[in-house]
Amino acid sequence: MLTRRTLGLSTAAFVLASGLAGSALAQQKTTIEFWHGLPQPLGGQLEQIVQDFNASQDKVQVNPSFKGSYPETMQAAIAAFRAGNAPHIVQMFEVGTATMMAAGPAIKPVYQLMAETGAGLDPAAYIPAVRGYYSSRDGKMMALPFNSSTSIMFYNKDAFQKAGLDPEKAPATWPEMIEAMKKLKASGVSCAFTTSWPTWIQLEQLGSLHDTPFASKSNGFGGLDAELKINAPLFVKHLDTLVQLQKDGLFKYGGRDNKADALFPSGECAIAHASSGLRSRISKEAKFNWGAAPLPYWPEFAKDGPKNGIIGGAAFWVMTSPKRTPAEYKAVSEFFSYLARPQVDAKWHMDTGYVPVTLQGFQQAQASGFYDKNPGADVPAKQLTRTPTTENSMGLRLGNLPEIRNIIQEEMEKAFQGEQTARQALDNSVKRGNTVLRNFERANKG
């Protein structure tokens, strides 16, 4: 007979049993520690993807942790590895690629992880310019691409119209850019043009678009003994042009890295070269009609037209640890397989403004009508895929590249301040940057 007392006892026993079962299930899960360097709101969007993965299965628990900026995340991961407690996965910005590849036993390459665990991941599914950046010279994928960007041009359509320019036609070449700047200034615009990320966009991307080496040895892919080549005629002409444009009041230097980002959405500058990831901010803040277009090029240095651009952003690296088990690596591979799904890639792209890293992700975004509703949102992907990659447009594989970027920015600023010529700035950049490269070579050779 079922009495209130027996019902109570039965219920208590059920709850206890359920709790034990839940606890046992939790214990069966393989836990993965994932360190990333994305602040809010992007960090929250990334962690939502992790939660979606966790909810999709009952075998793996991925724990995301924000560890500060990309350089701070890199330093934290290095310290943890030395202490024997490296996270399973760390997000690393693209300029840290050479450092991670030189880390040897500290990392497990993605191609090796997938082969050992039998997980499915087709490198050919990735956009070549993205895949190439994170692959070894023989084409083996070393890290999992995820949040990739590239640099493009944003322009103020209202300002163009006021200046008598066609608001539906952005300048395609640098001569056209310069003519547009003059008309914008004549119409009363105080800042015709600015740029974020001066070294990435105005030198690294410049070399890629014009199929001109930024450094020897295929931009460093061919060996640690690479040397900078940024005092070649293309780069000298380009920097000399920027210096002259600044003197003429047509170009505003907005500072290092992404310091100039605010100058376009605020309406101060009519044209900006910036990361494609700026699109989200512009959409929220700009009080004017605007458009997006590929970066311009110099016709005399690109007789056959411009090549593909190179990427920015970050990738996910697998780290090793003395106590790491095969089950943990298997769990990492399952998480990576989830991230590689086209629907996950397409959603991340459409939600954040980062470029789709897979060809199917791009196609899914296209099929959904996203680009019809958001004109110009496909410019980054089209710029990345418009030509096959060359050894000068695959990306850069240079040790301590963040330090080299700072050196180049210092020398560029001296040129903008009139303390030296463009040629002197780039000669000094090559000399000082090559010293950094030799130090990296000595520390990592053999």
pLDDT digits (tens), the chain, 446 positions = 333 444 344 444 444 444 444 445 445 899 999 999 998 888 999 999 999 999 999 999 999 999 998 888 988 998 999 999 999 999 999 888 988 888 889 999 999 999 999 987 899 999 988 998 899 888 899 999 999 999 999 999 999 999 999 999 999 999 999 999 999 999 999 999 999 999 999 999 999 999 999 999 999 999 999 999 999 999 999 999 999 999 999 999 999 988 999 999 999 999 999 998 888 789 889 999 999 999 999 999 999 999 999 998 899 999 999 999 999 999 999 999 999 999 999 999 998 888 999 999 999 999 999 999 988 899 999 999 899 999 999 899 999 998 999 999 999 999 999 999 999 999 999 999 999 999 999 998 76
CB 49 within 8 A of CB 340: no
Q: Is 218 helix (H, G, I), strand (E, B) or coil?
A: helix
Q: Which domains does the chain have, with CATH numbers?
A: 30-149+312-385 (3.40.190.10), 151-308+399-444 (3.40.190.10)
Alpha-carbon distances of 321 from 109, 340, 385, rounded to whole Å? 14, 24, 37
pLDDT tens digit sequence for 83-119? 999 999 999 998 889 888 888 899 999 999 999 999 8
**410-443 burial code (b ≥16 CB/10 A, e <16):** ebbeebbeeebebeebbbbbbebbeebbeebeee
Per-residue confidence (pLDDT) for residue 250, from 0 to 100: 98
Q: Which regions of 196-303 does DSSP assign to beta strands (E)?
A: 251-253, 269-275, 290-293
| Beta pairing class for 30-36 and 60-66 | parallel
Helix/strand/coil (H/E/C) assignment for every residue in 303-335 = CCCCCCCCCEEEEEEEECCCCCCHHHHHHHHHH
**Tokens (6 digits) for 329:** 């690596």
Q: Which regions of 45-93 does DSSP assign to beta strands (E)?
A: 60-66, 89-93
| Beta pairing class for 107-108 and 290-293 | unpaired
Quote the pTM value. 0.84
Backbone angles phi, psi at 371, to 5 degrees: -75, -25
- Sequential DSSP letters for 150-200: -EEEEEEHHHHHHTT--TT----BHHHHHHHHHHHHHTT-SEEEEESSHHI
Q: Is 289 helix (H, G, I), strand (E, B) or coil?
A: coil
Alpha-carbon distance of 214 to 212, in angstroms, equals 7
- H/E stretch holding 402: helix 401-416
Alpha-carbon distance of 211 to 301, in angstroms, equals 9
Alpha-carbon distance of 376 to 298, in angstroms, equals 22
Q: How far apart are the first and last CA of the chain?
A: 79
Residue where the block lists tokens 């027996």? 6
